[in-house]
């Protein structure tokens, strides 16, 4: 009986390992599909932005050059056209510089996450018309580049979602060092996220889109956590990354939320991603 029980236990363990291996293989396949879709979406967005901004500006430059050629051939005054060409060239340079900075701001490499985040939040407010604030206390040392890059992508995706879906007129971003972890929080006063969608987000459903899935994967690589709390008052997204400990149980629930959503009672919904 002992031999039979031992054999059955080994067989069960092998079955469990095979099942776990199958689950991990399926998860890797889904992740690969998500990454390819993220790349395709990002390329599509960059192509559209270049066409709508730089492309249109360069088309205006071409028309101005044609006008300049006619004026020179007919001995007409060309000072005004030259002035327009200079302005269009400056505009094209600014648009290219903005696109480059949005893809990967030099401030992130040169100064660090806090400075890059402040620049991005201010620019987001100007571009979107949403009142945006950034609250942070500068740390004594730079964070590892992998953490700074991950946090910046979380910030980008969070603010993009606020602009697209929340309907909020204001958003607050808060960044803090807490003991052996860093916490990034983005809070809005929008319409909130439905309980059904939060459940799908918590389950990692591919139907919820690839943006949050991508930043969740980034944080998991750093033993970090991503949490979303939502109600009729708005939504708070928190990303927590440990600096020393590898304990995944560190929760951002101990972090006091910024004041943007406090002061009123409402049924809260949350998802741990």
Range name among 39-48, 187-196, 206-215 with the lowest pLDDT average: 206-215
pLDDT of residue 54: 83
pLDDT of residue 261: 46
Query: Concatenated DSSP letters for the chain?
Result: -HHHHHHHHHHHHHHHHHHHHHHHHHHHHHHHHHHHHHHHHHHHHHHHHHIIIIIHHHHHHHHHHHHHHHHHHTT---HHHHHHHHHHHHHHHHHHHHHHHHHS-HHHHHT-HHHHHHHHHHHHHHHH--EEEEEE---SSPPPHHHHHHHHHHHHHHHHHIIIII--SEEEEEEEEETTEEEEEEEE-SS---HHHHHHHHHT-GGG-SHHHHHHHHHHHTT-EEEEEEETTEEEEEEEEESS---TT--GGGSPPPGGG-SS----EEEE-
Q: pTM score > 0.75 for this model?
A: no
Checking if the pLDDT of 246 tops 80, the result is no
pLDDT band at 203 (very low <50, low <70, confident <90, very high): low
203 vs 160, higher pLDDT: 160
263 vs 111, higher pLDDT: 111
Checking if the pLDDT of 113 tops 50, the result is yes
pLDDT of residue 38: 66
Mean pLDDT of 79-91: 90
Mean pLDDT of 218-243: 91
pLDDT band at 267 (very low <50, low <70, confident <90, very high): low
pLDDT band at 271 (very low <50, low <70, confident <90, very high): low
271 vs 73, higher pLDDT: 73
């Amino acid at each position: 009986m002992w031999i039979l029980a031992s054999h059955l236990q080994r067989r069960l363990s092998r079955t469990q390992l095979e099942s776990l291996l199958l689950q991990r293989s399926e998860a890797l396949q889904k992740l690969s599909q998500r990454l390819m879709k993220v790349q395709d979406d990002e390329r599509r967005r960059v192509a559209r932005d270049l066409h709508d901004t730089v492309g249109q500006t360069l088309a205006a430059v071409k028309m101005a050059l044609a006008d300049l050629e006619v004026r020179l051939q007919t001995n007409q005054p060309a000072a005004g056209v030259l002035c327009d060409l200079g302005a269009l060239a400056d505009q094209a340079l600014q648009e290219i510089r903005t696109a480059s900075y949005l893809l990967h701001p030099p401030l992130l490499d040169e100064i660090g996450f806090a400075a890059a985040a402040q620049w991005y939040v201010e620019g987001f407010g100007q571009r979107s018309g949403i009142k945006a604030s950034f609250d942070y206390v500068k740390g004594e040392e730079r964070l590892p580049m992998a953490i700074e890059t991950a946090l910046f992508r979380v910030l980008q995706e969070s603010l993009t979602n606020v602009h697209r879906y929340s309907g909020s007129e204001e958003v607050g971003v808060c960044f803090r060092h807490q003991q052996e972890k860093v916490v990034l929080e983005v809070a809005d006063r929008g319409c909130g996220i439905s309980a059904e969608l939060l459940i799908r987000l918590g389950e990692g459903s591919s139907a919820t889109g690839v943006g949050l899935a991508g930043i969740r994967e980034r944080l998991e690589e750093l033993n970090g956590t991503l949490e979303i709390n939502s109600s009729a008052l708005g939504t708070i997204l928190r990303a927590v990354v440990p600096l020393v400990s590898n304990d995944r149980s560190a929760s951002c629930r101990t972090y006091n939320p910024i004041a943007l959503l406090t002061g009123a009672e409402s049924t809260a919904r949350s998802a741990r991603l």
